[in-house]
Amino acid sequence: EAQVTQNPRYLITVTGKKLTVTCSQNMNHEYMSWYRQDPGLGLRQIYYSMNVEVTDKGDVPEGYKVSRKEKRNFPLILESPSPNQTSLYFCASSLWRTGNLYNEQFFGPGTRLTVL
Amino acid sequence: DQQVKQNSPSLSVQEGRISILNCDYTNSMFDYFLWYKKYPAEGPTFLISISSIKDKNEDGRFTVFLNKSAKHLSLHIVPSQPGDSAVYFCAARNAGNMLTFGGGTRLMVKP
């Protein structure tokens, strides 16, 4: 089954304790991205990757890191989490842009993070 | 400043009637507009898209209309069903495959 998986689904942690949220896709997609969802703000892009070893900042990258060592995995790293990073996080993947077509982004089920 | 806005946080509609969800944008460089649907405890799923060179796209009960001069798009669901109750996100694509999302509209379809 084609899917994007994230782990963990729920996480409660304390300020300053490093954490990693994993993301994996089995569709051989070049493009992967992380979003956070906050009430009234929709989904805002944190980081994205166009292919292995190619990453770039989205709209809200402060406090986050990513890596793309393999095509299927795109972990999100919070080196020193703070309460304002409490949010619902989504990983997504898609084919990279092919001409003028829209390549659907497939989303994972989400990770709800609470930083105390 | 939000480039994509959904001004109605919620909408309630009777089953069988039409649901109209609205979205406004400011960036004229967007080349594709999408609607995603989200159920609780799940990730968003793609619903329908429209290219900036078109003004209408239809897929079954779902139709998206684009008015470029007004920088406005809308999603029509006819007839609405209780299973359509979800949060709907409008999104727009700019460079590459990057999406900018609106804040979402919670649709409730009452039986």
Select the highest-mean-pLDDT range: A50-54, B40-44, B73-77. B73-77
Question: What does the alpha-carbon distance between residue B3 and residue B34 come to, in Å, rounded to a whole number?
Answer: 14
Bridge-partner residues for A2, per DSSP?
Answer: none
Per the CB < 8 A criterion, the answer to whether B48 and B56 are in contact is no
The residue to which tokens 């709800």 are assigned: A112
**Residue A96 to residue B97, Cβ atoms within 8 A:** yes
A46 touches chain B (CB under 8 A): no
**Residue B6 to residue A90, Cβ atoms within 8 A:** no
Average pLDDT for A7-29: 97
In the 8-state DSSP scheme, what is residue A73?
B
**Residue A4 to residue B9, Cβ atoms within 8 A:** no
Closest CA of chain B from A19, distance in Å: 21
Condensed to tens digits (0 to 9), the pLDDT of residues A37-77 reads 998 889 999 999 999 999 999 999 999 999 999 999 999 99
Average pLDDT for A26-45: 93
Closest CA of chain B from A9, distance in Å: 9
Whether the pLDDT of residue A99 is over 70: the answer is no
**Residue B101 to residue A43, Cβ atoms within 8 A:** yes
Coil, helix or strand at residue B22: strand
> Which residues of chain B have a CB within 8 Å of the CB of A46?
none
Closest CA of chain A from B37, distance in Å: 11
**Residue B102 to residue A42, Cβ atoms within 8 A:** yes
**Residue A35 to residue B101, Cβ atoms within 8 A:** yes
Coil, helix or strand at residue A45: strand
A112 touches chain B (CB under 8 A): no
> Which residues of chain B have a CB within 8 Å of the CB of A44?
101
Per the CB < 8 A criterion, the answer to whether A88 and A37 are in contact is yes
CA atoms within 13 A on the CB side of B17: 12
- What average pLDDT does the structure give for chain B? 94
Closest CA of chain A from B33, distance in Å: 9
User: Best interface-test mutation with A: which of B98, B105, B106 has the largest number of A CBs within 10 A?
Assistant: B98
Q: What is the pLDDT of residue A100?
A: 67
Closest CA of chain A from B3, distance in Å: 11
